[in-house]
Amino acid sequence: MHWSFYIVAGLTIGSAIAAMSLRNIVHCALLLTVTFAGLALLYLQLNAQFVALAQMLIYIGAVAILIVFAILLTRSSETTGDSPLSLAGVVSGVLIALAAFVTLARAVASSALIRQASPAPVPASVRQIGQELMKNYVLPLEIVALLLTAALIGAAVIALQERRRSE
């Protein structure tokens, strides 16, 4: 395995741990952006260039900005940070997550499927992806378009509701 994988994986996991454990919420959102960028680099290493580009555009460009906006809109002056849970809550949450990780890691380590030789990378050009989207996946594409429209209208209606009632 190439050493760049370990650097990118360490960056991704380290920034994810920091994003979930820091007290300042704005720092958490910024480190989440680093995690998304690390995932885009992992996609590039896996030869999925289009998905890496989509990850950068959608997650770093849109979702991270949306999260920062939500944090700044919901930040009151007295509670800038996140008051932590009790110690028992933190310990039980970490134990549940560790149990999930150990279960997944044991399943990965004991699987026979992953021991086979890795095949040569297959190029997935944007032309191929576009043709697949227009041929085999055209119905899911239309459904996703409908879902995104409904989600956009729904998000606007939900977020504007209180103001309309008070006026």
Partner 1 sequence: MSSPLAQYLIVSAALFSIGLAGALIRRNAVLVLIGIELMLNAANLNFIAFWRYGKNPQALAGIMFVIFSIAVAAAEAAVGLALIIAIYRHYKTTQVDKIDRMRG
By CB under 8 A, what part of segment 117-156 binds partner 1? 118-119, 121-122, 124, 128-129, 132-133, 137, 140, 144, 147-148, 150-152, 154-156
Among 2, 35, 5, which Cα is nearest to 18's?
35
User: What minimum distance in Å lies between the beta carbon of 52 and partner 1?
Assistant: 9
| Residues 8-27 interacting with partner 1 (rule: CB under 8 A) | 9, 12-13, 16-17, 19-21, 25
In angstroms, what is the minimal distance from the CB of 143 to partner 1?
9
The CA–CA distances, whole Å, from 136 to 1, 119, 167 equal 35, 25, 49
C-alpha–C-alpha distance, residues 15 and 136, integer Å: 37
CB-count burial class (<10 Å; 0-12, 13-18, 19+) for 26: middle
Q: Does 55 bind partner 1 (CB under 8 A)?
A: yes
Residues 30-49 that bind partner 1 (CB under 8 A): 32, 35-36, 39, 42-43, 46-48
Distance CA 123, CA 135 (A): 19
Site residues for partner 1, 75-114, by CB under 8 A, read 76, 79, 82-85, 89-90, 92-94, 96-98, 100-101, 104-105, 108-109, 114
Tokens linked to 3: 């050493």
CB of 22 to partner 1, least distance (A): 10
CB of 141 within 8 A of CB of 133?
A: yes
CB of 136 to partner 1, least distance (A): 8
